[in-house]
Structure 1
Amino acid sequence: MEDQFKDDILRPIENDKVLELRDLYLIDWPKYCSAYYHIEMAHTWMTKYNANTKFYSVEGNFDDATLIFITREPGWNATIVYYYTLDETNARLYKGLSKTKRINWNEEICTLKHYRHQLSVAFDLAKELKLHFHYLDTTALWWLPKEKALEFEIKIPDNTFISPLSVEHAKKIHGVWPFKAHRPIEYIENMIKYNNGVGIFDQNDKTLMAWILLNDYGSLAILQTDENYKRRGYAKIVTKALCKKFAENNMDSLSFITLGNTPSETLFEGLGFKIVDYLCWVGMKPSKNKL
């Protein structure tokens, strides 16, 4: 399979080199914290859980930390392409994406999670390859240093308990998730199986009342409270619990919050999170029409 791409502009990156590239994103912390944790998480899923993810450099050059990784998720037909670079001109990044034969631009492509300086790459690709956007969303990247999370005091209300999530909870979580149309239930199941997730439960009947997960980007995600248990502070409790768990493992916490999601913005600001950047989420499909 790899022989047909032996002369391709995108060159496979050895597993140990991926982590070396990850460490280049420690610069100006926490500016690139999202890239750092995402690369680390994708590498973990690939090496430990055989995730269908491949990492590539452009022409074997690592000088500006440019890397592209391509993945497919169970239950989702789209090819997912992630990319990062420290080169704000995006020159090598654009060259790699536009010249490679590893990506079939005639099918649905999700080029998710762009830093602002990388968004122009998606627009340039769409123009050159006659693609159209079927969604474009903007989120704020909220960050909390581990030192603050270690200070959290977590008070568990009477008749409740906190516990890790299990795969049996995926059906409920996915069923009420506002973005369930974009991702299949397998996405939730994998996050629970491979990553951390925390829920708060009723002590008597073991009902899951609120939950939060760690997603495949290495960020807090899918924070939600069952409609029957809202306005009791449960979302704050599970968030603090998971952040503190990360901090105890020498990790900062981060999360992507859609602009205008006032309840989440208020909660995270109250916990000490700060906005460090804004990122865009893009989905593209082939089009016969010019943009």
Structure 2
Amino acid sequence: MGTRLEVIGLKDIQEFQQLYKQNWPKYCQEYYCLDNFVEFLKKQPHMRNIDMYTLDTKQARDEGLFVIVDRYQLFVGCLNNSSGLARTALDLLDWSTGLKCSSVPSRHMDALDSVVESKKLDLVFRDCTNLFYMKAEDALKLKVEPPVGFVLKSLSVADAPLINEEWPNHHVGSLFFIERQIRLCISAGLYQEDTQELVAWCIRSQGGFLGTLQVKDSHKRRGFGSVVTREMAYRIAAQGHDVMALVNPCNKPSSEMFSKLGFQVIDQCYWLRTEPTSGEFTWPEGE
């Protein structure tokens, strides 16, 4: 009998997470990805449409191999990317509906590219992002007071439609994603004090990164992106976590902002979207 995918649960990923503390911050992507899903499952033990796997071998567990499919997004991690474990697990997955491989550490890209090639999967995109990183002790120094006339506070689910509409990457199913992240993760919004208009925001993504960082067009070039970034970094660090962000190398303004705040590039992560192999598939709105 050949190697198979094995379904895992909360206890498994909690054990795997501890393995990724070694050689810090080399495996910070895997550690914080698992940290977020651990917290998700603690808050909502029966979350729908999240499937988590390893391989049915002792080596896979020793190496902390995991593949998580969250609706249409795929996350993968493994301590030893030269063992072929990630390649085997990815090959055994069902790719028929298309998957968005998200924030994949560069060390796993040979395995992922090999699966894409062998299965003859068509790609929608394949993008590289720089991983900006800051230690918690440094992020705690970023606490900032809001500009005069504005207030900083956590986002509300009621803000989700606006955030989704303004988000350049919005798609069918993304409203559900934003609502869920607001409910379950750290977030920060900058609001105009008199009208309570939301003008800038940031939400922690499933992978543990600063995500959906955005400023409304009407309020750009006033430093508001830096304000919510500093607030988010502080909030994450206040929980004892280091802080990560992913920025496309072509996005010079964001790269310069993170560098100016003291973040350092320590790795690259990739985003890769595959086309469905069995006809068009659209993720249902509301899921």
Shared fold (TM-score, shorter chain, > 0.5): yes
Summarize the alignment of residues 87-98 of structure 1 with structure 2, pairs less than 5 Å apart.
87-98=80-91
Displaced runs of 4 or more, over 4 A? none
Q: Following TM superposition, by how much is the alpha carbon of 1:11 offset from its aligned partner in structure 2, in angstroms?
A: 1.3
Aligned partner of residue 161 in structure 1, secondary structure: strand
Summarize the alignment of residues 245-284 of structure 1 with structure 2, pairs less than 5 Å apart.
245-284=235-274
- Distance change in 2, residues 1:81/1:229 (3 Å): closer
Given candidates 45, 54, 67, the residue that maps to 1:57 is: 54
Q: Following TM superposition, by how much is the alpha carbon of 1:216 offset from its aligned partner in structure 2, in angstroms?
A: 1.4
Q: Following TM superposition, by how much is the alpha carbon of 1:40 offset from its aligned partner in structure 2, in angstroms?
A: 1.3
CA contact (8 A) 1:140 1:256 kept: yes
Match of 2:13 in 1: 18
Match of 2:32 in 1: 37
- Distance change in 2, residues 1:232/1:24 (3 Å): same
Matched, 1:234 2:224: yes
Counterparts of 1:66 and 1:211, CA distance in 2: 33
Aligned residues, how many? 274
Counterparts of 1:29 and 1:182, CA distance in 2: 37
Match of 1:161 in 2: 151
Instruction: Report the residue type matching 1:283 in the other structure.
Output: R
Match of 1:177 in 2: 167
Counterparts of 2:277 and 2:67, CA distance in 1: 24
Unaligned runs of 5+ in 1: 1-5, 73-78
- Distance change in 2, residues 1:160/1:113 (3 Å): closer
Counterparts of 1:180 and 1:286, CA distance in 2: 19
- TM-score by length of structure 2 reads 0.88
Q: Following TM superposition, by how much is the alpha carbon of 1:88 offset from its aligned partner in structure 2, in angstroms?
A: 2.6
Match of 2:77 in 1: 84
Instruction: Report the residue type matching 2:90 in the other structure.
Output: L
Counterparts of 1:124 and 1:191, CA distance in 2: 32
Unaligned runs of 5+ in 2: 279-287
Q: Following TM superposition, by how much is the alpha carbon of 1:91 offset from its aligned partner in structure 2, in angstroms?
A: 0.8
- TM-score by length of structure 1 reads 0.87
Match of 2:193 in 1: 203
What are the superposed Cα offsets for residues 167-212 of structure 1, whole Å, 9 maximum, x if unpaired? 1111111111111137521111111111111111111111111111
Aligned partner of residue 275 in structure 2, secondary structure: strand
Counterparts of 2:119 and 2:147, CA distance in 1: 55
- Superposition RMSD in Å: 2.1
- Distance change in 2, residues 1:173/1:237 (3 Å): same
Counterparts of 1:261 and 1:15, CA distance in 2: 36
Counterparts of 1:112 and 1:209, CA distance in 2: 27
Aligned partner of residue 101 in structure 2, secondary structure: strand
- Distance change in 2, residues 1:287/1:159 (3 Å): closer
Match of 1:76 in 2: none
What are the superposed Cα offsets for residues 131-185 of structure 1, whole Å, 9 maximum, x if unpaired? 1222111111111111111122412222111111101111111111111137521
Aligned partner of residue 178 in structure 1, secondary structure: coil
Instruction: Report the residue type matching 2:67 in the other structure.
Output: I
CA contact (8 A) 1:42 1:53 kept: no
Q: Following TM superposition, by how much is the alpha carbon of 1:97 offset from its aligned partner in structure 2, in angstroms?
A: 2.6
Q: Following TM superposition, by how much is the alpha carbon of 1:8 offset from its aligned partner in structure 2, in angstroms?
A: 6.7
Q: Following TM superposition, by how much is the alpha carbon of 1:228 offset from its aligned partner in structure 2, in angstroms?
A: 1.3
Worse-superposed segment, 103-112 or 17-26: 103-112
Aligned partner of residue 131 in structure 1, secondary structure: coil
Aligned partner of residue 134 in structure 1, secondary structure: strand
Match of 1:109 in 2: 99
- Distance change in 2, residues 1:14/1:190 (3 Å): closer
Counterparts of 2:29 and 2:107, CA distance in 1: 14
Instruction: Report the residue type matching 1:151 in the other structure.
Output: K
Identity among equivalent positions (%) equals 24
Worse-superposed segment, 151-160 or 186-195: 151-160
